[in-house]
Amino acid sequence: MSTLRETGMRWIEKWLNYRPMTVVSILMGFACAKIVYRLYIWPYFLSPMRHAPGPPLGHPIYGQWPEIIRNEAGVVQREWAKKYGPTVRAIGPVGVERMTFLNPEAMHKILISDCFDYPRPKFMRNILGLTAGFGLLTNTGDVHKQMRKALNPAFSVANLTAQTDMYYEPINSLVKILKAEIGDQANPSEGKIFTMYDWLSKVTLDIICLTAFGYDTDSLHNPDNELADAYHHLLSLQSGKNLASLILLMSVPGFPSLMKTDWLYKRRHWFRVWRFLAPIEILLESMRRIKTISSQILRERTQETASLIAAGDNTLRRDIMSLLVEARLRESKDGFKMDDAMMLEHFLTFLGAGHETTASGIAWTLWLLAINPEVQQKLREEVRMHLANNPTPDYKSLKQMEYLEHVVMEALRLYPPVPMTLRKATKNDYIDGIMVMKGTIVYIPIRVVNTYQGFWGADAEEFRPERWEKLPDTIHPTLSFMSFIAGPHHCIGKTMAVVEMKAVLAILISQFSFEPAYPGQKAKPTTAITMKPEDDLPLRVKIVQ
Ligand code: HEM
């Protein structure tokens, strides 16, 4: 009897001695069971979405991610849509299910009628906030509604019309630079190869800085301008690999808040230790520089606008920042309130969302014109006819150039600068007859919708601007062309971007011809949040007489 008691005591003593290890073992066992459940049991045997059409589930940890980031944005998903139809289920990293819907009814639910139930996923808001401000892109619900209401007047057609003349100084500067460089060639009639995206990125930065903040970067002549240089560094980080590292980091609990601290900024050199994290140091440094310059511009605009209002002077600036400062100073009746910190976030959003997207849109249009010389010639004839009487067309005159409008829309359809975006289901819900579970990532397939044969016909992937003269009946008016998406979160800068693209293209096409830089050249879109040309788009540019 006593031996039995002694043995029992010895076991208890032993268990107590080893308890920490036991606890750790139990926790590890639990974690392993959870991983096995998430990666192998849920997606294969339990998920109600497992019967939805789609490709095989792919790698157990990365899902279909490797295939997606190795390819051009939207192309893998386009092949899936061709093979499996308008509803596709795929698996992202760590077993997270991703649903894609192309049908307008499903899109309407996700983006318009039930949009509050489908916000942008948190990791995406954190990344967007870090690089493009915590404003419209990161808020949702009532806060977002109020922000939109406050910002909408600045993007009205009336205000855009008043701003169009600001576009032409940067555009004409680019024309002069290209002409001078071509003129310096041994044989100017053969033109010169320019990496066009680089130049377009400068023009659009100069335009957005003038129209949004009344700030003259003049990066075309002054590449060392502080803001231009900081943006140049930031944009050099655009790649699928860097985006993947950033998504991983931003998914670590607490890391997004840490990224905003001075503490981490002072220790940013730590990221140099791991090569795959090194770009984070450049990101932190560039954003710090952009924020410092932005605060300085905001201070200047506030002081200037306040003294003009005090003096009863109505010759106020027409840039967006001055309009917002003016609205704040006059304290409009509808309770418009925006503090300096919020203004600064909007500043970052306009820069982040409105510069590189427009540059990519123009670059892809030039590429399509370079490989379709007959379209280029037809466009040149139209713009030359209009520019002969009016070399700096305003909003209304640009609208009258119909073929230009069709070329721009067709290029944005085939090469949307934002090729996809994401939403996350915040509750269990039925979409298109499929039970979509809370937490599922909904992939908004902008490029796939834009080129889906079910909407656009058999030639959906071809560049044919004439199709815009009469669109097929299968086209939904807002949900078959998704380059600016739809619903309460649709791009606030849509009209501004299209007008700016038209102004730049009209002037460039009237003066130059564009050809591929070498035989067999192929388009090389990046697979990051925005789709810019990875090689900065080298094109041969010639002066046309
Ligand atoms: C060709 C150029 C452009 C394209 C293709 C484009 C595309 C888009 C897309 C697809 C979205 C929705 C993203 C999402 O919901 O996840 C968006 C949102 C937004 N864009 Fe643009 N954009 C362009 C130019 C601009 C310009 C010039 C500005 C402003 C100066 C701008 C400001 C914004 C803002 C503030 C949002 C957030 C809207 C909200 O959530 O309420 N964009 N854009």
Determine the distance separating the centroid of ligand 1 and the alpha carbon of 43, expressed in angstroms: 34
Predicted confidence (pLDDT) per residue in 104-136, tens digit: 999 999 999 999 999 999 988 988 888 888 999
> Which residue out of 491, 501, 529, 531 has the highest number of ligand 1 atoms within 8 Å of its CB and is therefore the one to mutate?
491
Helix axes 320-330, 141-151, angle to 10 degrees: 100
Distances (CA, A) of 539 to 30, 220, 348, 369, 375: 57, 18, 31, 11, 17
CB 525 within 8 A of CB 532: yes
Predicted confidence (pLDDT) per residue in 208-257, tens digit: 999 988 889 999 999 888 888 888 888 777 777 777 778 878 888 888 88
Predicted confidence (pLDDT) per residue in 374-418, tens digit: 999 999 999 999 999 899 999 999 999 999 999 999 999 999 999
Q: Is residue 32 a known part of a binding site?
A: no
Determine the distance separating the centroid of ligand 1 and the alpha carbon of 137, expressed in angstroms: 8
Sign of the four-CA dihedral 433, 471, 409, 542: positive
Predicted local distance difference test score (pLDDT) of residue 4: 78
Q: How confident is the model at residue 492 (pLDDT cuts 50, 70, 90)?
A: very high
Protein residue with least CA distance to atom 15, ligand 1? 489
Could you tell me which residues come within 8 angstroms of residue 330 by beta carbon, excluding any fewer than 6 positions away? Answer: 309
In a 13 Å sphere around the CA of 407, the CA atoms on its Cβ side amount to 33
Better-scored residue on pLDDT, 280 or 444? 444
Protein residue with least CA distance to atom 9, ligand 1? 484
Ligand 1: residues whose CB is within 6 Å? 120, 136-137, 148, 212, 349-350, 353-354, 357-358, 361, 416-418, 421, 483-485, 489, 491-493, 496-497
Could you tell me which residues come within 8 angstroms of residue 11 by beta carbon, excluding any fewer than 6 positions away? Answer: none
What percentage of the chain carries pLDDT values higher than 90? 53
Other Cβ atoms within 10 Å of 521 Cβ, number: 17
Q: How confident is the model at residue 76 (pLDDT cuts 50, 70, 90)?
A: very high
Work out which ligand 1 atom sits closest to the CA atom of 355: 27
Predicted confidence (pLDDT) per residue in 224-236, tens digit: 888 888 888 887 7
Sign of the four-CA dihedral 291, 292, 296, 297: negative
Which H/E stretch holds residue 19?
helix 19-36
* DSSP bridge pairs for 42: none
Predicted local distance difference test score (pLDDT) of residue 334: 53
Sign of the four-CA dihedral 148, 154, 158, 163: negative
Predicted local distance difference test score (pLDDT) of residue 364: 98
Predicted confidence (pLDDT) per residue in 53-70, tens digit: 999 887 878 888 888 878
- Opening angle at CA 120, ends 483 and 436, nearest 5: 100
For the segment 338-367, the average pLDDT, to the nearest whole number, is 91
